[in-house]
Amino acid sequence: MGIFEKIFRHHPPWGVHPDDHKLPAANAPLRSLPLPALLYVPMQQHVGSPARPVVLVGQHVLKGQLIAEAQGNVSAPVHAPTSGRISAIGEVTAPHPSGLAQLAITIAADGADTWCERLPVDDPFALAPEEIARRTAAAGVVGLGGATFPAAVKFNLGRRLKVNTLIVNGGECEPYLSSDDRIMRDRAAEVVDGLRIVMYAIGAREALVGIEDNKPQAIAAMRVAAAAFGNVQVRPVPARYPMGSDKQLIQTLTGKEVPADARAAEVGVLVHNVSTCAAVHRALRRGEPLVERIVTLNGGALTRPGNLLAPIGTPVVDLLRFAGVSGRPARLVLGGPMMGIVLPHARVPIVKGASGILAFDAAEAHVAEAGPCIRCGSCTRACPMGLLPLEMASRIGADDLAGAAGFGLSDCIGCGCCAYVCPSHIPLVQYFSYAKGELSARERSKLRNDATRRLAEERVARLEREAREKAAAAARRKAERDAAKAAAGAAARPLPVRIVKPASEAAT
């Protein structure tokens, strides 16, 4: 960083600057986890419909073999993370605070870790962009930054909307985490190759790699790897949480603001995470589906924090053991401390989106008592979306959810900046997620009620119509009968006058 950059380095007017706690974990060399004996591979590791198992219990599978196929338009297939025998297809605890059960395929590893047949592509740029999207989808690649949106769906969207700029997210603004940092340092060439393949797949003309300036080694490695490609620029961005949020990174790198009801692709940019790009590289160049990832193990309760290369489906407890737990962790978090979720216990498997497992000691897990809002405005200054968290929270506290929505609740990205700075320790994000959930539940039940009412109204209308039609039909039949009777009578008795008269009455 030049002297001028240092002096004039401005930070954006939003966000917070938490203690990053990335060291020493980020500097520890990447280690590979010894193969676990049992792997629990969940069917729902992505946004969209869960995958559907295509293997049977007892069947032997090879590493990388398809074990569950995608269902529907937004979904992703799942592959065997190692070779072994399918020992069960059933429910396991999901990596989610609810501790709910979820369908997973259990594989008893045979220890050989034998790959299935891989179909590497020598020159991905010779393929059609659609073919790259197809292969990426088939390899089960999803957004590895945490959003876990199926990558290929975004490729197709980008191509359709003629996206010009690919933004590669190397922000990794969450404290404690360093898996993206590590992949940029250790596999920069793979990341750059992957992002070039992504550019080609979406038809982008340039790629901007945004990396927070607290990762100088990653920036240097990426610069070297990207040096040969003029359309790939590595751009250091100020280390400020939530820089790794798509909207904030887009704004910082391009000055563009994504309109509230639009997708980033509609303003000509598409964001992919660095680890996702590396996974695309592997899927294409090596024909390897996404079966492993780098997970940051960090937190005060660990004796050997660092980054581990681990197969998908590894139980968290195996990772913790490898990283050395001292005492009993006071809290386990999946993801970063700002937006991560609490794990119910350590017997849950890691999934494709698991960028980190944090084991907090008692001090880190300390939760301060919440006090009243002193209207200090810190939350407003910190909010990257320009919201007024204190106003929304006070509305929600008074059960005025519509009022909170009027203050822009739907624009809240749940980044946690407001709750982080609040001197009264008000659990603002909890208020907001509660209110968002409640509002969408009400919306759903309103839709349901509307639908029920419409059905009921339609039924009433139908019954009335049927009754009317029946009555009309009855009247018609009666009239016909009467007419027939009258005609018969007329034929029997010549009394024309009496026939003419009702006819003339009918006419009046």
Partner 1 sequence: MIPTRHAGPVAAPHAASAGTVPRVMLWVSAALLPATLFGFWLYGWPAVHLWWVTTGSAILGEAFCLRLMQKPVAPVLRDGSALLTGWLLALSLPPWAPWWAGVIGGLFATVIGKQVFGGLGQNLFNPAMVARVMLLISFPVPMTLWTAPLPMLSANAPGFVDGLRITFGTLPATFDAMSSATLFGYARSELSRGVDLLQSLAATQAPTISLLGERAGSLGETSSLLIAAGGLLLLGLRIITWHIPFAMLATIALFASLMHGIDPARYLSVGIHLLSGAAMLGAFFIATDYVTSPNTAVGQLVFGAGVGFLTYVIRTWGGYPEGVAFAVLLMNALTPVIDRYTRPRIYGRDRRGAPLEIDP
Q: Which of 413, 427, 438, 486 binds ligand SF4 (CB under 6 A)?
A: 413
Q: Which is nearer to ligand SF4, 198 or 415 (CB)?
A: 415
What is the spatial distance between Cα 156 and Cα 242, in angstroms, rounded to a whole number?
27
Q: Strand, helix or coil at 118? A: coil
Minimal CA–CA distance to 401: which of 412, 416, 386?
Answer: 412
Q: Which of 77, 79, 384, 392 binds partner 1 (CB under 8 A)?
A: 384
CB 376 within 8 A of CB 351: no
Tokens for 333, please give them: 């978090």
Among 203-211, 219-227, 395-403, 443-451, the segment contacting partner 1 (CB under 8 A): 395-403
Q: Which is nearer to partner 1, 16 or 68 (CB)?
A: 16
Q: What is the nearest approach in angstroms of ligand SF4 to the Cβ of residue 409? A: 8
Residues 6+ apart with CB under 8 A from 491: none
The interface partner of residue 259, options being partner 1, ligand SF4, none and the CB cut-off 5 to 8 Å by kind, is partner 1
Residue 12 binds partner 1 (CB under 8 A): no
Q: Convert residues 422-441 into a mask of x (bound to ligand SF4 by CB under 6 A) and - (unbound).
A: xxx-x-xx--x---------
The interface partner of residue 137, options being partner 1, ligand SF4, none and the CB cut-off 5 to 8 Å by kind, is none
What is the spatial distance between Cα 250 and Cα 242, in angstroms, rounded to a whole number?
12
Radius of gyration of the chain (CA): 31
What is the spatial distance between Cα 5 and Cα 237, in angstroms, rounded to a whole number?
11
Residue 338 binds ligand SF4 (CB under 6 A): no
Specify burial of residue 60 (Cβ count, 10 A radius: 0-12, 13-18, 19+).
middle
Among 57-65, 249-257, 413-421, 445-453, the segment contacting ligand SF4 (CB under 6 A): 413-421
Q: Which of 74, 100, 224, 341 binds partner 1 (CB under 8 A)?
A: 341
Residues 6+ apart with CB under 8 A from 318: 33, 36
Q: Which of 418, 431, 435, 436 binds ligand SF4 (CB under 6 A)?
A: 418
Tokens for 57, please give them: 């219990």
Residue 358 binds ligand SF4 (CB under 6 A): no
Q: Which is nearer to partner 1, 222 or 429 (CB)?
A: 429
Q: What is the DSSP string of 482-494?
A: HHHHHHHHHHHS-
What is the spatial distance between Cα 421 and Cα 403, in angstroms, rounded to a whole number?
23
Which residues, numbered 141-170, are part of the site for partner 1 (CB under 8 A)? 161-162
Q: Convert residues 51-80 into a mask of x (bound to ligand SF4 by CB under 6 A) and - (unbound).
A: ------------------------------
Q: Which is nearer to partner 1, 238 or 268 (CB)?
A: 268
Among 27-35, 128-136, 145-153, 372-380, the segment contacting partner 1 (CB under 8 A): 372-380
Specify burial of residue 419 (Cβ count, 10 A radius: 0-12, 13-18, 19+).
buried
**Element (DSSP H or E) covering residue 359:** strand 356-360
Q: Which is nearer to partner 1, 9 or 425 (CB)?
A: 425
> Binding residues for ligand SF4, how many (CB under 6 A)?
30
SS (H, E, C) 414-464: CCCHHHHHCCCCCCHHHHHHHHHHHHHHHHHHHHHHHHHHHHHHHHHHHHH
Residue 327 zone, left/alpha/beta (φ > 0; ψ -120 to 50; rest): left
> Binding residues for partner 1, how many (CB under 8 A)?
72
What is the spatial distance between Cα 453 and Cα 217, in angstroms, rounded to a whole number?
62
Backbone angles phi, psi at 118, to 5 degrees: -105, 150
Q: Which of 327, 386, 489, 502 binds partner 1 (CB under 8 A)?
A: 386
Specify burial of residue 101 (Cβ count, 10 A radius: 0-12, 13-18, 19+).
exposed
Which residues, numbered 359-378, are part of the site for ligand SF4 (CB under 6 A)? 373-378
Among 1-9, 254-262, 304-312, 320-328, the segment contacting partner 1 (CB under 8 A): 254-262
Q: What is the nearest approach in angstroms of partner 1 to the Cβ of residue 372? A: 4
Q: Which is nearer to ligand SF4, 234 or 429 (CB)?
A: 429
Q: Which is nearer to partner 1, 367 or 497 (CB)?
A: 367
The interface partner of residue 341, options being ligand SF4, partner 1, none and the CB cut-off 5 to 8 Å by kind, is partner 1
Which residues, numbered 418-437, are part of the site for partner 1 (CB under 8 A)? 419-425, 427, 429-431, 433-434
Residue 404 binds ligand SF4 (CB under 6 A): no
Residues 6+ apart with CB under 8 A from 156: 130, 133
CB 147 within 8 A of CB 242: no
Most distant CA pair in the chain, distance = 122
Tokens for 18, please give them: 């938490």
Q: What is the nearest approach in angstroms of ligand SF4 to the Cβ of residue 121? A: 41
Q: Which of 74, 376, 467, 479 binds partner 1 (CB under 8 A)?
A: 376
The interface partner of residue 358, options being ligand SF4, partner 1, none and the CB cut-off 5 to 8 Å by kind, is partner 1
Among 82-90, 132-140, 386-394, 440-448, the segment contacting partner 1 (CB under 8 A): 386-394
What is the spatial distance between Cα 10 and Cα 116, in angstroms, rounded to a whole number?
51
Query: Which amino acid is residue 234, in one-letter code?
Result: V
Q: List contacts with ligand SF4 (CB under 6 A).
A: 373-379, 382-385, 387, 389-390, 393, 412-418, 421-424, 426, 428-429, 432
